[in-house]
């Protein structure tokens, strides 16, 4: 494929482990294939943690089109779950970045039908896992509702005075000049975002009441 810009990604779970063996093997692959401009990214953190600085930096370069190939010793070094690994691979494929995983015989840097089959199977299994998780979540929510469990964040309990202030604000917003959300937030002693949310909630309840009254 000529001289490509390659990235090596390394990860260990604790600072008592070392990436030396992974690094040496991946560097040798780059040297053997004549891949230049090799950049290395490394994380020392549990794969279960969502944010990893090294991985985030590397994926930013992938999205900018600055890398041609990514090397990682094993897939479990890349992601915390099959779904997350598939998501990362999907991004690489979308940005035409090859993936080389020597520990599992995966190499999409050339016309490798076996590697393509592995990727397709991996993506299909990840999609299956996503569907299973979604179904279990929906089933759990349905069961919780059946037991009478209230879902979601508890609503902010407003005093009678605050409720009147909110209703007055909603009515005033229908006229001109309109009062600002910042002024409402200051009066209710909440954030501007919470003032927006409270106003939307009240407006939606008013619309629903009007709709019911018309029936």
* 13 is a catalytic site residue: yes
For residue 55, give Cα distances in angstroms to 12, 74, 82, 173. Answer: 12, 14, 16, 46
Q: Identify the active-site residue in 13, 20, 84, 109.
A: 13
Instruction: Extract the runs of DSSP E, i.e. beta strands, from 97-186.
Output: 98-101, 106-107
The gap between the terminal CA atoms of the chain, to the nearest Å, is 69
Using omega within 30 degrees of 0 as the cis cutoff, is the peptide bond preceding 177 cis?
A: yes
List % helix, strand, coil for the chain (3-state, nearest 5).
Answer: 60, 15, 30
Residue 107: which of 25, 29, 31 has the closest Cα? Answer: 29
**Contact yes or no for 198/188 (Cβ under 8 A):** yes
Q: Which residues are catalytic?
A: 13
């Amino acid at each position: 494929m000529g001289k490509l810009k390659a990235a090596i990604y390394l990860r260990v779970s604790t600072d008592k482990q070392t990436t030396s063996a992974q690094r040496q093997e991946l560097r040798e692959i780059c040297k053997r294939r004549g891949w230049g401009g090799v950049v290395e990214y490394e994380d020392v953190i549990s794969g279960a943690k969502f944010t990893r600085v090294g991985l985030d930096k590397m994926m930013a370069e992938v999205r900018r089109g600055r890398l041609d190939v990514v090397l990682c010793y094993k897939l479990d070094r890349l992601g915390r779950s099959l779904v997350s690994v598939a998501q990362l691979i999907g991004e690489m494929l979308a940005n035409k970045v090859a993936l080389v995983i020597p520990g599992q015989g995966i190499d999409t840097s050339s016309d490798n039908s076996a590697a393509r089959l592995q990727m397709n199977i991996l993506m299909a299994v990840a999609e299956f896992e996503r569907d299973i998780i979604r179904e279990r979540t929906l089933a759990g929510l349905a069961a919780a509702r059946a037991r009478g469990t209230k879902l979601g964040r508890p609503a902010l309990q407003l005093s009678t005075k605050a409720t009147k202030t909110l209703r007055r604000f909603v009515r005033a917003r229908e006229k001109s000049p309109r009062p600002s959300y910042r002024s409402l937030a200051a009066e209710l002693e909440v954030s501007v975002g919470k003032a927006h949310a409270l106003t939307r909630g009240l407006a939606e309840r008013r619309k629903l009441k009007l709709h019911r009254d018309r029936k």
